[in-house]
Amino acid sequence: MEVALSAAPPERCAAAATSASVPLVRPQDACASDPAVDLHELIDQLPGFVFRVRHDGTLLRFDFASASCLAVCGLRADDLLCSAQRFLAMIDAQDLATFHASLQASAAAGSWNWEGRLQTPHGLKWVNVRARSRTVDALTTESTGVMLNVTQTHLRESQLRNLSTDLRQIASHLESVREAERARMARDLHDDLGQVLTALQMDVALLRRQFGASQAPELFANIDKLIHAAAEAGRRVAAELRPSVLDLGLKAGLRWMAEQYAKRYGIRVHTELNYQGEVGELIATELFRIAQEGLTNVVRHAHARQAWVRCVDAKGGLICISVEDDGIGYTRQTQPASRPHLGLRGMRERAAVFGGDFQLDTSPHGGVRVRVCMPITEAVQHG
């Protein structure tokens, strides 16, 4: 339950001003030749606004305020001592609830920590309050502390967030350009190399008829093998650049990839594809690449007999893909520092570019599980 805080009545201003006075502190006899230390002057030289405030649930009053109050809040100390209402009126509406809650909780906690915005005469400022609180009586709590202007810190954080967003946009755009270039290269490789090899095969057939296959049977057989090997290599490279099966959708692409790894490496790959939403083209490509890198790691490092590729919906408009195995597992302490895990780093960076989350943990099957969740549609707009 929020309690409205009211300002101290004007008749208390004189008492507050009196209580705000700070005595001189004189050194001990051992240092009697040194001048007296004026604590009031010392406090006024601090970068923050030092205060003492009392609150009893219905009343808020400042009985001490250093001169830095003007620099931090835009209020003179005398005005604040006469009426706390001026300070309360400056608190941004979005932060007023947390101000009340933190102040009321300070009695039990013994400390008061709050950070929020003030609408000062000089514009919006972020302030940070750190104070020690003590109970004066059954109803009254006294908090003594300092209020700092942290506006520049928040501006820098905002700039860093904006810069991070810009970098994500650039990385996302570059990734889409790279995937488009891969698709173009795959098409060109398939079409151009295919035409050249077909023409070569026809020429070899003409030579065989003209000179007779019996003249050099081994030579013609070797040429046929080389042409067939070149065609297979072209198809493999084109598929690695961008599998044409992705044009049929992510599910078709993941099933095709599972079959290819099973055929090529003799590992059994299970697929579980239970998502319902329509996946954006670029996100589908990224999920495919993450699964591809995950299976490559399984083949290279896991010594596994089986792997599982799962792609499912998650809360908040996310889609999650995971690759796990029944291999030897992964222990961070045993990894040599001189060999960075570029595959894992690549998956983590792909997830970060699209506002996703990367997780690495142990699979229920005993091996490793890599899981990436990202928005089902592109969260970053390309410029």
User: What is the tens place of the pLDDT at every residue in 48-61?
Assistant: 889 999 988 668 89
3-state secondary structure of 327: coil
Tracing tokens 């339950």 back to the chain, one arrives at: 1
Considering only residues 47 and 117, tell me which one the structure prediction assigns the higher pLDDT.
117
CA dist 314 and 374 (Å) reads 9
**Assigned token pair, 317:** 């408009």
Within 10 angstroms of residue 113's Cβ, the number of other Cβ atoms is 13
Strand-pair partners of 366? none
Burial of 19 (0-12, 13-18, 19+ CB in 10 A): middle
What integer is the mean pLDDT of 86-95? 91
pLDDT of residue 13: 55
> What Å distances lie between residue 158 and 127, 152, 155, 170, CA to CA?
15, 10, 5, 18
Max mean pLDDT among 68-77, 231-240, 251-260, 339-348 falls in 251-260
**Assigned token pair, 16:** 């507050």
Distance of CA 54 to the CA centre of its chain: 41
pLDDT at 14 over 50: no
User: What is the tens place of the pLDDT at every residue in 160-176?
Assistant: 888 877 777 787 677 77
Distance of CA 333 to the CA centre of its chain: 25
**Assigned token pair, 205:** 């057939």
pLDDT of residue 162: 83
pLDDT of residue 368: 92
What integer is the mean pLDDT of 73-90? 89
**Assigned token pair, 200:** 């070569």
What integer is the mean pLDDT of 211-235? 82
The C-alpha R_g of the chain, in whole angstroms, comes to: 36
pLDDT of residue 2: 42
**6 falls in which pLDDT band (50, 70, 90)?**
very low
**232 falls in which pLDDT band (50, 70, 90)?**
confident
User: What is the tens place of the pLDDT at every residue in 265-292?
Assistant: 999 999 999 988 788 888 888 899 899 9
What integer is the mean pLDDT of 97-106? 89
What integer is the mean pLDDT of 74-87? 88
Encode burial over 195-211: b for 16+ CB neighbours within 10 A, e otherwise.
eebeeeeeebeebbeee
User: What is the tens place of the pLDDT at every residue in 127-159?
Assistant: 999 999 998 887 889 999 999 999 998 889 888
User: What is the tens place of the pLDDT at every residue in 205-219?
Assistant: 888 888 776 777 788
CA dist 24 and 35 (Å) reads 10
3-state secondary structure of 142: strand
pLDDT of residue 16: 45
**Assigned token pair, 373:** 């969740």
Max mean pLDDT among 3-17, 118-132, 230-244 falls in 118-132
Encode burial over 213-229: b for 16+ CB neighbours within 10 A, e otherwise.
eeeeeeebeebeeebee
Q: Amino acid identity of 208?
A: R
Domain 245-383, CATH = 3.30.565.10
The sheet with strand 368-375 has its strands ordered as 268-273, 306-314, 318-325, 368-375, 357-362
**Assigned token pair, 381:** 């707009």
pLDDT of residue 122: 84
What DSSP designation does 213 have?
A: T
pLDDT at 383 over 90: no
Domain 6-149, CATH = 3.30.450.20
